[in-house]
Structure 1
Amino acid sequence: MEKDQSKRAAAAAFMGTTIEFYDFYVYATAAALVLGHVFFPTTDPVTGTLAAFATFAVGFIARPLAGLIFGHLGDKLGRKNMLLFTMILMGIATTGIGLIPSYASIGIWAPILLIVLRFLQGISVGGEWGGAVLMASEHAPSHKKTFFASFAQLGSPAGLILCLLVFKAVTSLDEADFLSWGWRIPFLLSFVLMAVGFIIRFGVKESPEFAQAKAQAETVKYPLKNLFKYYWPHVIFAGLAITIGSAGFFFTNTFMITYVTQYLGIERQTILSALFWVTVLQFLTMPLFALWAEKIGAARFLVGIAVVCLIVPYPMFMLVETKNILLITLGITLAVVSLSALYAVVAGFMANAFPTEVRYSGISVSYQFIAALAGGTTPIIGTLLAKNYAGEWLPLAYLFTFLSAMSLVGILGVNYLQRKNKVAENTAALSNEEITQ
């Protein structure tokens, strides 16, 4: 029975994060393609794009707040209830964006409503991720926790694939139809997806590790207080560890849409098609990377792949600059597969850094703060670099390398703390044994 729950929890984590990230990527893609025109029409194209990306960043500003709130509640009240709430919130926020009248219709209220609903999107995804990872990993057998945790990570490429399919359909409309109503369709589909995700999640039992901790009165009254008092180094290093896994996707899947369309003259449909096939490959390879990491050790695997991420942006941009769509696709594939390998494994690695009573808080705060600092600003920084260094790609590659270096430092830090804790636990166990004898 527990084995069935393990599989069901992994499936629910996958479906839930797929829907959450679909909603998040829908906004990101729309920000790159159309939101500047609809909600900031008085500006020039580049400034309009920056304004749209600024509203994109608002969602990331909300995510640390959500990590604090939902992490605390998840460690006190359980993982499942938090996940049901975030699912409903995301569906309402995304559907609402699809219903906002344009700037031409209601003036300044249009961008104001956009910002409010974008903030609610950020709250939702900020509370979602940690719970989804833990429901999958805490239901999993002890020797499969990294692999099962990767199912929550699979929601990112799956959500992007769904997003790209829908946008591929709506961008094939006449330009006037796309700008007036076609762009709204991906947002409105969220309501249907929310209903499906809620039903799937409702059937999964609470995490057995949390249930056991609660039954044995091992939960704590103030999880956040304990987290920052005893585990603040773990929070910092765990956050750094996932940097390229978070920010890298918005570099390749959001900023690169703007870069190749505005600076290389590639058609929107062309780059969306390329990103679709890149993401399919990402989706197929992530479970394989998780299994590989399970065999050789998560820390060893992550250090190696972080080093690869340091190097990979240079061949990527060399291939992108050819303006050949096949070579552009190959270049982006190199980067995406590398950073997605890290992303697939790092969730379980982070979860193991924290004890059960502060685990939801620990991984949520770690991830969401770095997502706000690095993920939300990456498209803006990339756009500014591209504008100020027109025709030069090296500054953009350096940005990718810097984000990868942050991950490498974080992985090494978490590994050091885990080894230190293990030595301390073994020493305490030996001391207790001597006392008993």
Structure 2
Amino acid sequence: MNAAQEVAAHKRARKAGVASFIGTTIEWYDFYAYGIAAALVFGKVFFPADLDPGTATLLSFLTLWAGFIARPIGGIIFGHLGDKIGRKTTLVITLVMMGVATTCIGLLPSYLQIGVWAPISLVVLRVIQGIAVGGEWGGAILIASENAPKGKGIMYAAFAQQGSPAGNLLATLVFFGLSALPVSDFMLWGWRIPFLLSAALVIVGMVIRLKLEESDDMQRLMKQKKTVKLPILEVLRNHWQIVLLGAGVLPIIHVTYFKSTFALSWATKELGYAQSTFLSVIIASLVVQFIAQPFGALLVSKIDMRKAVALMVIPELILMPAMFFAVETKVYWIAVVGMCLATIPHSMFYGAVGGILARAFPTKVRYSGLSISYQLCSLLVGGATPVLAQGLLNSTGSIVGVAIASGLYALVSLVCMLLLLKRIGHTASELSTAEQADADELANDSLNPPDQSPSTGQSARAAQPKWVSPA
């Protein structure tokens, strides 16, 4: 590669990274806005007024879970499309789906107006949101990491990961601003504004995403017509162990629903915090997350990944449970410090995990493998988190069970990540097992072009990537 080509490649990588960040920010803004509204509003607006407040909140969190249940569907559909027709097209589709669903939530009539159709319609729109974000995450990670300069995939994947705290922060700031409204106005129409803003954000995201380019690896697969016919079957047949480990790696990233969605409801309804006060606590933690998160990608890129992961996750075993007791003091500055400290470990982990998981699958099934791993965990853990926490609180009247559960999330993630790194490699500067298989296949294609037969003594089966078991 000459100097001009190298400059062009770095320019394309930066463009992909920035576009990935902006697109995921918009998608996560929509997704997190729902979580905030579920904690503050939906139990009162979309369910009967005579329900017990705790029951109404639990039902509201169940609608939140519906989006997580739908996310694997999005992962399967858009993982398939992304591995067949490219990452760019799928990312445009998911952005439009998310924007339309979110805008419609902002226009949805209340239970008083249309009765039981209100919660039914809410669940349907939440499912559409879930399908959209289920296809979004894997594609955004890959459009950034696959266009990255050699050895920089984890760092560039962190661009896409930054969209999560940015979207969450944006949604929380909008709700924080609206909290200045009288309660009656906020409940009547104010809460709808964040959802209606999505229409404008999607237009911005579309303009940016339509200018994206596919990575060289994906272009090569499509040009050579070497995409897999049914990527999900290939993943489940040959890479199922990596999928399960990948899903097991991710519970720690879902503690955000302990400290935002659940904690917001608990603090404002049980502990007596003003809505604006606790939203400001969450905002402080999101600023910390946005700043700290990229350092996770940097850390795993510089030292042995196993050591880096241990340094990030082990403090979470103490800090996340301690956060709940800090909030329970009802002392504002203690709550802020507790939540900010608990945020640092899992945010750094989140900054690195996308790039690490992208290294775990070969190019031809990478979108499907990455998406299925992530959305499997979301199905079992993500949406269940506020439901679990609220259920524990309702049944025991104590925050202790919730605190213990949050620490267990970190423990499961640590164990599974160490097992995954043992299988795929633990040095960022070296090719992972899957990346080496891709390199071997490319080298073999160079020696044996598609219109020629493999050299004598080399069977077609032997030409398969080395780490994939024969079908």
After TM superposition, the score normalised by the length of structure 2 is: 0.88
CA distance in 1, matches of 2:212, 2:111: 43
Question: Does the CA contact (< 8 Å) of 2:288 and 2:343 recur in 1?
Answer: no
- Residue equivalent to 1:51: 59
CA distance in 2, matches of 1:248, 1:424: 31
The alpha-carbon deviation at position 422 of structure 1 amounts to 4.3
Q: Map 1:349-364; keep pairs closer than 5 Å.
A: 349-364=356-371
The alpha-carbon deviation at position 396 of structure 1 amounts to 1.1
- Residue equivalent to 1:121: 129
- Residue equivalent to 1:66: 74
Question: How many residues are matched?
Answer: 429
Structure 1 residue 401 corresponds to structure 2 residue 407: yes
From 409, 414, 417, the equivalent of 1:411 is 417
Q: Which runs of 5+ in 1 are unaligned?
A: none
Q: Percent identity?
A: 44
Question: Does the CA contact (< 8 Å) of 2:321 and 2:407 recur in 1?
Answer: no
From 316, 319, 327, the equivalent of 1:309 is 316
Of stretches 65-74 and 298-307 in structure 1, the one that deviates more from structure 2 is 298-307
Of stretches 229-238 and 398-407 in structure 1, the one that deviates more from structure 2 is 398-407
The alpha-carbon deviation at position 251 of structure 1 amounts to 1.0
- Residue equivalent to 1:189: 197
The one-letter code sitting in structure 2 at the alignment partner of 1:27 is: Y
- Residue equivalent to 2:164: 156
Q: Which runs of 5+ in 2 are unaligned?
A: 1-7, 427-431, 445-456, 459-471
CA distance in 2, matches of 1:134, 1:200: 16
From 163, 180, 202, the equivalent of 1:172 is 180
Structure 1 residue 141 corresponds to structure 2 residue 143: no
From 384, 387, 391, the equivalent of 1:380 is 387
The alpha-carbon deviation at position 296 of structure 1 amounts to 1.0
Larger Rg: 2
The alpha-carbon deviation at position 299 of structure 1 amounts to 3.7
CA distance in 2, matches of 1:226, 1:262: 48
Question: Does the CA contact (< 8 Å) of 1:302 and 1:345 recur in 2?
Answer: no
Question: Does the CA contact (< 8 Å) of 2:9 and 2:149 recur in 1?
Answer: no
The alpha-carbon deviation at position 155 of structure 1 amounts to 0.6
The alpha-carbon deviation at position 214 of structure 1 amounts to 2.3
Higher share of residues assigned helix: 1
- Residue equivalent to 1:250: 257
The one-letter code sitting in structure 1 at the alignment partner of 2:405 is: L
- 1:72/1:326 Cα in 2 relative to 1: closer, same or farther (>3 Å)? same
1:108-144 deviation per Cα after TM superposition (whole angstroms, max 9, x unaligned): 1111111111110001000000000000000001221
1:277-327 deviation per Cα after TM superposition (whole angstroms, max 9, x unaligned): 110111011122322221114343123322222222233233222211111
The alpha-carbon deviation at position 104 of structure 1 amounts to 0.7
Q: Secondary structure at the match of 1:143?
A: coil
**Backbone CA RMSD of aligned residues:** 2.0
Question: Does the CA contact (< 8 Å) of 1:154 and 1:286 recur in 2?
Answer: yes
Higher relative contact order, structure no. (Cα contacts within 8 Å, ≥ 6 residues apart): 1
The alpha-carbon deviation at position 211 of structure 1 amounts to 0.9
The one-letter code sitting in structure 2 at the alignment partner of 1:399 is: A
CA distance in 1, matches of 2:314, 2:284: 25
Of stretches 296-305 and 46-55 in structure 1, the one that deviates more from structure 2 is 296-305
Question: Does the CA contact (< 8 Å) of 2:154 and 2:354 recur in 1?
Answer: yes
Q: Secondary structure at the match of 1:139?
A: coil
Q: Secondary structure at the match of 1:161?
A: helix
Q: Secondary structure at the match of 2:315?
A: helix
The one-letter code sitting in structure 2 at the alignment partner of 1:90 is: M
From 103, 112, 116, the equivalent of 1:95 is 103
- Residue equivalent to 1:26: 33
1:332-367 deviation per Cα after TM superposition (whole angstroms, max 9, x unaligned): 111111111111100000010100011000010000
- Residue equivalent to 1:13: 20
From 262, 275, 278, the equivalent of 1:268 is 275
Of stretches 79-88 and 303-312 in structure 1, the one that deviates more from structure 2 is 303-312
The one-letter code sitting in structure 2 at the alignment partner of 1:288 is: F
